Amino acid sequence: MCEILQSLGLNAIHVDDLPKGDETSDTDISTYADQHELIVISKDTDFYHSHMILRKPERLLLITTGNIKNRQLFDLIRSNASAIQNLFTTCHYVEMSNSSIIGHEQ
Q: What is the pLDDT of residues 77-92, one digit of tens each?
A: 999 988 998 899 899 9
With a cut of 80, say whether residue 15 has pLDDT above it. yes
CA–CA distance, 56 with 4 (Å, rounded to integer): 25
Mean pLDDT on 96-105: 93
pLDDT reported for residue 6: 83
Bridge partners, 103 (sequence order): 94
Mean pLDDT on 82-104: 93
pLDDT reported for residue 106: 64
pLDDT reported for residue 14: 92
Give domain limits for the chain. 2-104
pLDDT tens for each residue of 35-76: 999 999 999 999 999 999 999 999 999 999 999 999 999 999
Q: List phi, psi (to 5°) of 82.
A: -65, -45
Mean pLDDT on 91-98: 95
Q: Confirm whether pTM is higher than 0.95.
A: no
- Strand ranges, E, within 1-106: 40-42, 60-63, 93-96, 101-104
With a cut of 90, say whether residue 98 has pLDDT above it. yes
